[in-house]
Amino acid sequence: MSNIQTKSETTLLESGFLFDHASGLSYTVNGTAHLIFNALKEEKDTADILDELEKTFDIDRETAQNDLDDFLHNLKSIGLIEL
């Protein structure tokens, strides 16, 4: 289980539209971010998320880790997750 908590007041559409109901703000996310956010909502741990990134996007572990770290930093800075 992940120790990263997403805000419950969010909606992520298949189109990549992420809406924060509490603030009224919306964001557009790419495929990588979409996969990560869905995995966080499902409470997957970071190792599982990294495995899924590697498999889905045919990338190495270091690239997957960098992508995950960058997106988590962005989510934290806009208040959509708590670490």
Q: Which domains does the chain have, with CATH numbers?
A: 5-82 (1.10.10)
Task: State the pTM of this model.
Answer: 0.91
Stretch 1-13: mean pLDDT, rounded?
Answer: 85
Q: How confident is the model at residue 8 (pLDDT cuts 50, 70, 90)?
A: confident
Q: Which of 5, 22, 33, 47 is nearest to 13 (CA)?
A: 33
pLDDT tens-place string over residues 14-64: 999 999 999 999 999 999 999 999 999 999 999 999 999 999 999 999 999
**What pLDDT does 64 receive?**
98
Q: How confident is the model at residue 2 (pLDDT cuts 50, 70, 90)?
A: low
